[in-house]
Every structure is written in C-alpha cells, then in structure tokens.
Amino acid sequence: MIMQKRQVLLRLAPAFIFAGLVCMAQAQQAETEIPKPAVVVIRHGEDLDVWIKGTDTNNEGMTNWKAVVPDWPNYTTSAGDFTVPQHGLSATGEEQALFLGENLQRLMKWAGCESITRVITKKPYGKNEKGEDPTPNPFDTIYPFLQVRNSEDAANPKPNELILIAPGKEQSNPLLDRDLVAMLPNEFSKPPKMSNTLLRDQGSGSTLLCWDAEGLWGEAVGEKPNRTRPFDPNSILRMMGGYTMGNYFKDEPKEAGGGCPDKAARLYIFTRRPETGTSEIPQKFNCEVIDLKKNDNGEFAFYEVAKLSVKENAQELQIIRPKAYSTQEILLPSP
C-alpha cells in the first residue's frame, strides 16, 4: 500500500510542479501588467516666426486657437486664472497640441504606464529674468491635454494637477529654473541627489513635463543658418538620463533615439529603473523614445524609436529598436 501511494505521488509530482510554474508565470505576468508611474518629457510644438500679441485678439491667426480657448488670452486652470501676453504656436503646433490632448493617455496605456495626472511646464505669464514676456509655447502645447483631462475627472477621481514653474535660476544649475531643479535627480552631484518628487509613487499617476529646447538640451550658439545647440550637462535630458543614457542621447543619431528633439516630435517616457530610488542608490530611469509625425495618410501618429535600459552594476546600456527608423506606427488602444 505504501509503495502504491509513493507511485501515485511520483506520478502527480510533475503535474504539481507544472501547475506551480504556471501560477508563478501568471503572477509574474500580472505583476508586469500593473501600470507603472512615468515621467513623459516633450519639447513644445512648432511655433510662428512672429508671435501674436495678446492685445491682437482679432488676428486671423488666432481663429483655430480661439476655438480651443474662446476667451484667449485669458485662461482658467487648476493653477489659477491668468492672462498670457502672446501666442506662439503655428497651425502645425496647434495641430500637434490637439493630437496630444486626444491621444496622450492612450499612449500611456499602450506603454503600460499609469495615466497622467500631473503636468509641469513653464509659467506663460509675468516677466522672465530678462524682464521680457515669457514663452507661452510649452503651456499651450499641453493646454488641450489639460482640457481633455478635466473632462475625465468624473471617471478618474485622481486630481489633475498643473504646476507652472516660475523663472529663477540657481547657482548649481544655470540652465534650469530652481523649482524644476529641485524636482530633478542628479547622479553627478556629490553626494548624488535623489528625486522622488518628479516620478511619483505607484498608484499616484504619471507626470507630463513640457519644456523648451534650451532646458531640454542646451542653449543655442551662433546665428541662423549656422546655429548649433550643444548638449548641456545641466539639461533635463542629462539629469533624467544620467551618465550612460545621457551620453546615448548626446552621441547617437536621431534615428537611434539621440540628438536634440524637434518641436513636439519626440517623447521620452521615463520609468523607474529597478533597484534604484533607495536611500543607497539615487533614483534612475529606463526610457522609451517615441516619435510623433504624420503617417502616409497625412495624419499624426506615434512611432516606436528605441527602448533604453541600463544594467546598474555594469552601466551597460541595453537597446531595443525597430528594424527601420520610425516605421513601426503604434496602434493605440481604445480610450
């Protein structure tokens, strides 16, 4: 009898092992399918050669934008009501902004990331440090998204937070405003600076950061048509990418995910690198690079460019790219 029981158990053992492996695989799959908080970084949309002043409310160039903002130059937002001094987006820039407003949350779902519940951008009113009117372009690029997000509040109880960064540089980073620097990680400082304020905790939602080329990449040097834009070690992409990924952005060609991003044409989806963000290791990121451009039908669409991840110990960059640059159009999930 004992021998028979032993034989039965031996026959059942592979089944138990297989079932256990299936359960483990299912658990791991469920874990990987949990949406991750992310930080989405993008440059503002295409702009006009000559911007429209806020006093010129009857300008024909404002016709399409006033369909979005009927009371322009007056805005009502979760960060307060204010009046902007000018409008700088071109018709293409406005089209980019509208596409992002309608489709950015769908892209987050496709990427396996939590919905965006917080937006950070430059303050579009008041005066900058030079006493000049500030650029409204980053704010206007994300404004249609704010409007769509507001309409989702009933279905999504998470608050829609807008943070407008006021001008004001600090000594440690002459390129960026101090309130933004306070949010960014910096693995180059001594000791390395963590940042758990830009990328929030699981379940708190993702963050959208829209800025200009100067802050994302670096100041322009020289005059057109010979103007260049060197990669600045104090830039947002350097701070977010750290040493290994920052060098990739700086050195690789555009088709591989490197180079200064064109206006509203490239998005960087940063997610937390495992085993970082502890008291011993500063928070670091992996990144998915996505392009926004028109497809063969003349409609804007998102395209896969590269997935970048770093092995923490070896500082080795792992890269996954489509076989051909910007040929893999992303099929967005339903809203």
Q: What is the DSSP string of 155-208?
A: T--S--EEEEEPP-EETTEEEEEHHHHTTS-BTTSSSPBP-SSSS--TTS-EEE
Which tens digit of pLDDT belongs to each residue from 185-227? 888 777 777 766 888 888 889 999 999 999 999 999 988 888 8
pLDDT-wise least confident of 181-190, 261-270, 297-306:
181-190
* Helix-helix angle 137-151:91-110, to 10 degrees: 50
Residue 14: CB atoms within 10 Å: 9
Cβ atoms of 228 and 260 closer than 8 Å: no
Burial-class residue 229 by CB neighbours within 10 Å (0-12, 13-18, 19+): middle
**Which of 319, 263, 228, 309 has its CA nearest to residue 100?**
263
**Which of 89, 144, 94, 145 has its CA nearest to residue 117?**
145
Which tens digit of pLDDT belongs to each residue from 24-67? 334 333 345 799 999 999 999 999 999 999 999 899 999 999 99
Angstrom CA distances, 48 to 52, 53, 121, 207, stand at 8, 12, 20, 27
Distance separating alpha carbons of residues 289 and 261, to the nearest angstrom: 10
Angstrom CA distances, 119 to 145, 243, 248, 272, stand at 9, 26, 26, 18
Number of H helices, E strands in the chain: 7, 14
Q: What global pTM score does this model have?
A: 0.87
Q: What is the pLDDT of residue 312?
A: 62
Distance separating alpha carbons of residues 100 and 87, to the nearest angstrom: 18
Residue 31 tokens, joined: 């874990």
pLDDT-wise least confident of 91-95, 184-188, 302-306:
184-188
Residue 330 tokens, joined: 């992303």
Distance separating alpha carbons of residues 30 and 34, to the nearest angstrom: 7
Return the beta strands (E) in 44-177 as ranges: 47-53, 74-77, 80-83, 86-89, 116-122, 161-165, 169-170, 173-177
pLDDT-wise least confident of 50-59, 98-107, 132-141, 190-199:
190-199
Q: Which residues pair with 170 in a beta bridge?
A: 173
Handedness of CA 97, 98, 101, 102 (dihedral sign): negative
Degrees to nearest 5, angle at CA 38 with 215 and 216: 10
Cα-to-chain-centroid distance, residue 96? 15
Cα-to-chain-centroid distance, residue 272? 13
User: Between residues 257 and 151, which one has the greater pLDDT?
Assistant: 257
Q: What is the pLDDT of residue 24?
A: 38
